[in-house]
């Protein structure tokens, strides 16, 4: 037997060892990455075209300054360009601390400070006299809540609705229009 006869023919006539599936997956990966990059570029361009808060404030300040200059040109010495009408009475509540409904875990409490906005037809004397009743209603509602109920913004919004309904139930003149949280802590 000659030297060349014992050599097997495995290396000749076979493919280069690459799997066509790997090539297809690689090409698909490149296409998908290109599409993601394209859409990110489009979204970035769209977001960059929107005016920023600073741009909006500057534009409003220019409008206000133009109105002030126009009033001064007419000989008016007005500091305020536009007078806003009073559309409600406000009651600033002292912070309220209440225990939350207890599950298996440790005791939890909530501390809430709020401003209540009453309708213009509400009499200030009525809701000032009923401050203790208002605080009691809020504490009773808070005592029935679990920390999970108040952790999300939907829970806080639902709490506002419950407070409004409870207070409006005993008001004689006017209604409670809105509740504004000035402080909201859960411990």
Residue 5 lies in a domain: no
Q: How many domains does the chain have?
A: 2
Which of 49, 73, 97 terminates a domain? The answer is 73
The three state secondary structure string of the chain is CCCCCCCCCCCCCCCCCCCHHHHHHHHHHHHHHHHHHHHHHHHHHHHHHCCCHHHHHHHHHHHHHHHHHHHHHCCCCCCCCCCCCCCCEEEECCCEEEECCCCCCCCCEEEEEEEEEECCCCCHHHHHHCHHHHHHHHHHHHHCCCHHHHHCHHHHHHHHHHHHHHHHCCCCCCCEEEEEEEEEEEC
Whole-model pTM? 0.54
* Tens-place pLDDT, residues 17-29: 678 999 999 999 9
* Tens-place pLDDT, residues 104-113: 678 889 999 9
Residue 176 lies in a domain: yes
- Which structural domain range is residue 132 located in? 89-186
Residues 35 and 115 in one domain: no
Percent of the chain at pLDDT > 70 equals 82
Residues 152 and 93 in one domain: yes
Residues 102 and 165 in one domain: yes
Residues 135 and 165 in one domain: yes
């Amino acid at each position: 037997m000659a030297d060349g006869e014992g050599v097997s023919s495995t290396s000749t006539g076979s493919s280069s060892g690459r799997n066509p599936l790997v090539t297809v997956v690689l090409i698909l990966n490149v296409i998908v990455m290109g599409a993601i990059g394209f859409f990110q570029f489009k979204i970035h361009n769209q977001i960059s075209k929107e005016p920023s808060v600073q741009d909006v404030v500057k534009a409003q300040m220019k409008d206000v300054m133009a109105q002030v200059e126009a009033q001064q040109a007419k000989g008016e010495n007005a500091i305020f360009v536009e007078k806003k009408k009073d559309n409600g009475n406000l009651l600033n509540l002292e912070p309220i601390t209440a225990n939350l409904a207890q599950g298996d875990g440790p005791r939890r409490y909530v501390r809430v400070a709020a401003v209540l906005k009453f309708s213009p037809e509400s009499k200030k004397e009525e809701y000032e006299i009923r401050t203790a009743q208002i605080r009691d209603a809020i504490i009773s509602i808070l005592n029935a809540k679990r920390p999970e109920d108040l952790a999300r913004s939907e829970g806080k919004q639902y709490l506002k609705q419950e407070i409004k309904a409870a207070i409006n139930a005993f008001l004689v003149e006017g209604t409670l229009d809105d509740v504004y949280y000035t402080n909201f802590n859960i411990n």
